[in-house]
Amino acid sequence: MRLKLQVDPRKCIGCRACTVACKMEHQFPPYPTSPPQAEPKGPSFIRVFEGGPFIVDGKVGQSFRVVVCRQCTHPLCKEACPLGAIFQTQEGVLEVDRDICTGCGLCKEACPIGAPEFLPDGTVAMCDLCLHRVRDGKEPICVAVCPSRCLQVLEIPWVG
């Protein structure tokens, strides 16, 4: 079995608690912005983007799209890395060996959702599902803080 983060966009309320908690957990600089662009800038392994407003059946609606590494079965980011810096842990979670990574960005270009994130040191990293927490029996920080419970960790069969 391997781990994967599942997002239910119908439950997301766009609060961005996941993004803020991720930044704090990984000690990324905050670089907050003021509304209406409330998305915190700078590195984060999970981001929330707004869609709308739109009208459905006479009611104003809004949607949110959560972008986080999908832990692909056949990760294009891993294939694109010319140095082999991206590997899978025993849990099947993708990680980047930042001692090998040169920050060329080919992994980010290859990823269909652009999940790999440039860090202040010029290397690239991606969501590792907070393995340091998971290995201690805790949920990833984004899952733990989500008030609408739109995030959950799944164990799926190992393929590949």
Distance CA 120, CA 29 (A): 9
Predicted confidence at residue 160, as pLDDT, reads 58
Token pair 């010029």: residue: 122
Distance CA 71, CA 84 (A): 16
Give the Cβ contact number of residue 81 at 10 Å: 23
Predicted confidence at residue 40, as pLDDT, reads 57
State the DSSP H helix or E strand holding residue 142, giving kind and residue range, or none if neither: helix 141-145
User: What does pTM read for this prediction?
Assistant: 0.85
Structural domains of the chain sorted by starting position, each given as residue range(s) with its CATH number in brackets? 2-156 (3.30.70.20)
Q: Which two tokens stand for residue 82?
A: 């010319």
Token pair 């119908």: residue: 10
Predicted confidence at residue 32, as pLDDT, reads 54
**Over the stretch 3-61, which tens digit does the pLDDT of each residue have?**
999 999 999 999 999 999 999 999 987 655 544 455 556 789 999 998 888 898 999 88
Q: Which of 80-84, 104-108, 116-120 bottoms out in mean pLDDT, i.e. has the lowest?
A: 116-120
